[in-house]
Chain A
């Protein structure tokens, strides 16, 4: 039997129109409005950062707000940062989310892993940064149409705990523990990255002073070493990127490592022959990117009682006559073998 729905009556039509309009105009957003952060700081000092946030949704519910902060691993954020929240819905501390807590809609990832998978290293060129995930220490109840404004306040003590002057892009993410980094499109004028979560990346933050070597996460370097923190019993990959600037090695099919190691007993070992052992091979034809993976203990031929403390090095051509140093100058690149 065919049934036809006949809507009659002026009020019913008005009601339907209002429902449709209500859906269309529904608006849910989570936005990091701004971050008040100094442009520079000194290694070991205390830095205060304020993240200004606003949130609204045309529905009611309860959720913990989640906050993610990306900084160099060597800063030990989870130990050195104290984070609080203040808002029109109350205030309290931001607490670390245990690594055993799985984020919603993440296919089984912890919050830090989910942040890494979603936002990566936010443009930092060295993979030695970490996402640290926090959530409000109490759930926040919100009613339909609530406009919540608030701040996440970071007090970062002993910044740059690894002692390295650093140039880095800091990353901030705000989300909630119900939706994760999703967009369901149900809400009117929000965008995929501002409905249930929002990310903000600052320009390069400069950390000066310290006793270590400069770590520049922001600018491409002629050479990089992976893992960034390694000892002489690691397998170390050195990458030379000839695309960073025009050097006299441009167009080479292979380049060579010419290195001098300083050992724990103060002796020095120089390895500077242009052989297969020192050859950086091009990753693909004309890529201008060359790599060599080596075992420092074996490469420098240390004895059981010796360790490699640091090395200075140049990249050379096959004849060994053309040498490229730090910043395409005559100064050698330097690398310290360390783990913290």
Chain B
């Protein structure tokens, strides 16, 4: 009987000793790094597909996260018409992207950054001319 008691005490002791507080550390969401050269793969104007109608192949948008600057090559109607600086409202969870062309005023647009066919895309919606007309450009990295 006494032997069984010792065994029971030992088992209880072991069970307590086996308990360990596990510390869960939150996984940090990575910052959204836009660095690179982006090209237009889809473009619509008021819902009409513009790709068959206009040559978008020469236009590129280059972001440099270090200098927080962007450059346009072979510009076409876009949120901004000249090179300048850009900023995300939140580097980890961005909802807005602001372009400030050199000598211009900041222009903010909704930032959509989905993964399409295994690679990141940037979808931007804006009205470069008449505000009644809405353009949606989808960019992927070159």
By a beta-carbon cutoff of 8 Å, the part of chain A in contact with chain B is: 73, 226-227, 229-235, 237, 291, 293-295, 297-298, 304, 338-339
Contacts and interface: CB of A to CB of B under 8 A. Distances in A.
Interface residues of B, number: 16
Chain B contact surface mostly: loop
B91 to A, nearest CB: 30
Contacts of B45: 227, 234-235
Contacts of B135: 235
Contacts of A338: 130
Contacts of B46: 227
Most buried by A among B81, B128, B130, B135: B130
A121 to B, nearest CB: 14
Nearest to A338: B130
25 contacts: A73-B132, A227-B45, A227-B130, A227-B132, A229-B130, A229-B133, A230-B129, A231-B129, A232-B129, A233-B77, A233-B81, A233-B129, A234-B45, A234-B128, A234-B129, A234-B133, A235-B45, A235-B50, A235-B76, A235-B77, A293-B53, A294-B54, A295-B54, A298-B76, A338-B130
B131 interface: yes
A291 B50 CA distance: 12
A230 B54 CA distance: 16
Given A231-B130, A232-B129, 7 more contacts: A233-B77, A233-B128, A234-B45, A234-B133, A235-B50, A294-B54, A297-B77
A73 B76 CA distance: 27
Interface of B: 45-46, 48, 50, 53-54, 76-77, 81, 128-133, 135
Of B76, B129, B132, B135, which is in contact with the most chain A CB atoms at under 10 Å from its CB?
B129
A106 B62 CA distance: 42
B128 A291 contact: no
A117 to B, nearest CB: 12
A148 to B, nearest CB: 38
Contact of B130 (A230, A237, A294, A295): A230
B133 A227 contact: yes
Given A235-B45, A237-B53, A229 B132 contact: yes
Contacts of B128: 233-234
A295 B46 CA distance: 16
A293 B50 contact: yes
Contacts of B81: 233, 304
**Most A-side CB within 10 Å, residue of B53, B76, B81, B133:** B133
Nearest to A293: B53
Contacts of B129: 230-234, 339
A235 B53 CA distance: 10
A309 to B, nearest CB: 13
Contacts of A73: 132
Contacts of B133: 227, 229-230, 234
Contact of B54 (A293, A297, A339): A293
Contact of A291 (B53, B130, B132): B53
